[in-house]
Amino acid sequence: MQTGKRIGIVGGGPGGLTLARILATRGIGSTVFELDEHRLSRPQGGSLDLHEDSALVALRHAGLEDGFKVLARYDDQGDALYDHLGALRFQLGGDPSGGRPEIDREQLRTLLLDSLPPETIRWGSKVRAVEPLSDGRYRVAGEHGSLGEFDLVVGADGAWSKVRPLVSSEEPRYTGVMFVELSIDDVDARHPDVAALIPRGKVSVVGDCLGLIAQRSSNAHVRVYLMFRVAEDWLRHGEVDLSSPERARAALKARFTGWAPSLLRFIDVSNDTIVPRPIIALPVGHRWTHRPGVTLLGDAAHVMPPFSGEGVNMAMLDAAELALGLSEDSDWIRTVAAYEARMFTRAAEAAAGAMEGLDFVSEHALAHTLEHFEAIQRMAGAPHP
């Protein structure tokens, strides 16, 4: 079904691409503006667990379930919890029949991109602003002029959305928790002692206001997040000098003094790509009054701390609900408003849980995380209602 209406999607992340794909399968064209110059212009990050009640539902509506199954790592669903002295405190899951299979972020993006007509994506299109026109449509403005005019503009452009100011004056704020991302290459062949700590899936380690999560991706690659509480401008104080990876690793290790040497190996053997990631969030329950012709999805609407692994899952479910609504109801104002109402409720609940996850980097982190793991295990063992 071609509606004759034009849809502009700002941002070609998992949310924006899922929206474009599901619309395309229902005969509705759209244009995605993505600031990356091309699909390989930057690494896309680590492994994602996709949940059966959100992202996997979206992939089914997108007709990409079979493609996903080929790439997914069903046996990487486990999570081992260690204390900072290296003692194993809990072993969660690992059951390949679980409902949270893993996929590399890059593979997910490729799956979605390959499913779209190539003319859908406008690479190298950094959106500067979205401007209302007198006839109710919107102009998407790039760095060098207009990128087009649309009946509906969807902001799928992440935490620092250029579309959000049309509906909300809120901005994400720093939560006080800093992640520093490290990467380990070819772990099985080159670092068997580290590989033995993370034979599959994920490893979580908690200490006093310090945390570490290591995640396996495909090809024996491991992504490590070091976590601590510092001021937002911490990097400028010079503790960690990113121009010298060797010195940066030494400074980061010093922060983790007292941790078991076996755990500090995650830092020792990491490569020279060291990326600070301040954890930011929009207020829990962020919402706006519906404005015809514009909406948001994913991080643009509800960026939250990543502890519960809901971000991509929420973004893809938002996209699926919006796409299905637009394809089933010709009254777009009504359908977008209805999508927003459902999304606000769902996102508020997920964001509240994600904010609680910040306790992973706190004085009572071990007790809190143990409780959390036990609750997950109880739920996994509970009979389906």
Quote the least distance from Cβ 171 to ligand FAD, whole Å. 14
Which residue stretch of 9-17, 332-340, 355-363, 368-376 sits at the interface with ligand FAD (rule: CB under 6 A)? 9-17
Q: Is 318 annotated as a binding residue?
A: no
What's the CA gap between 66 and 72, in Å, rounded? Answer: 10
What's the CA gap between 49 and 55, in Å, rounded? Answer: 9
Instruction: Give me the helix-helix angle, 14-25 and 311-328, nearest 10°.
Output: 30
What's the CA gap between 22 and 34, in Å, rounded? Answer: 18
Phi-psi region of 152 (alpha: psi -120 to 50; beta: other; left: phi over 0): beta
Size of the site for ligand FAD (CB under 6 A): 31
* Among 177, 179, 206, residue whose Cα is nearest residue 45: 179
What's the CA gap between 56 and 50, in Å, rounded? Answer: 6
Q: Is 105 annotated as a binding residue?
A: yes
Which residue stretch of 143-151, 189-197, 226-234, 306-314 sits at the interface with ligand FAD (rule: CB under 6 A)? 306-314
Q: Which is nearer to ligand FAD, 86 or 176 (CB)?
A: 176
How many residues comprise the chain? Answer: 385
* Among 184, 186, 217, 212, residue whose Cα is nearest residue 200: 217
The verdict on 358 binding ligand FAD (CB under 6 A) reads no
The verdict on 172 binding ligand FAD (CB under 6 A) reads no
Please check whether residue 361 is in contact with residue 306, taking contact to mean a CB–CB distance below 8 angstroms.
no
DSSP, collapsed to helix, strand or coil, labels residue 77 as coil
Q: What are phi and psi of 172, to 5 degrees?
A: -65, 145
Q: Is the dihedral of CA 187, 191, 195, 201 positive or negative?
A: negative
- Among the listed residues 7, 9, 13, 339, the single contact to ligand FAD using CB under 6 A: 13
- Among the listed residues 157, 321, 340, 359, the single contact to ligand FAD using CB under 6 A: 157
DSSP, collapsed to helix, strand or coil, labels residue 2 as coil
The verdict on 357 binding ligand FAD (CB under 6 A) reads no
The verdict on 102 binding ligand FAD (CB under 6 A) reads no
The verdict on 126 binding ligand FAD (CB under 6 A) reads yes
- Among the listed residues 7, 8, 9, 12, the single contact to ligand FAD using CB under 6 A: 12
Please check whether residue 94 is in contact with residue 200, taking contact to mean a CB–CB distance below 8 angstroms.
yes
The mark string for 26-65 relative to ligand FAD (x by CB under 6 A, - otherwise) is -------xxxx-----------x-----------------
Tokens describing residue 308: 């519960």
Report 265-304 residues binding ligand FAD (CB under 6 A).
277, 298-299
First-to-last CA distance in the chain?
Answer: 38
The verdict on 158 binding ligand FAD (CB under 6 A) reads yes
The verdict on 259 binding ligand FAD (CB under 6 A) reads no
The verdict on 148 binding ligand FAD (CB under 6 A) reads no
Quote the least distance from Cβ 4 to ligand FAD, whole Å. 25
Which residue stretch of 22-30, 123-131, 286-294, 332-340 sits at the interface with ligand FAD (rule: CB under 6 A)? 123-131
Binding site residues, ligand FAD, CB under 6 A? 10-16, 33-36, 48, 125-127, 156-158, 162, 179, 225, 277, 298-299, 306, 309-313, 315
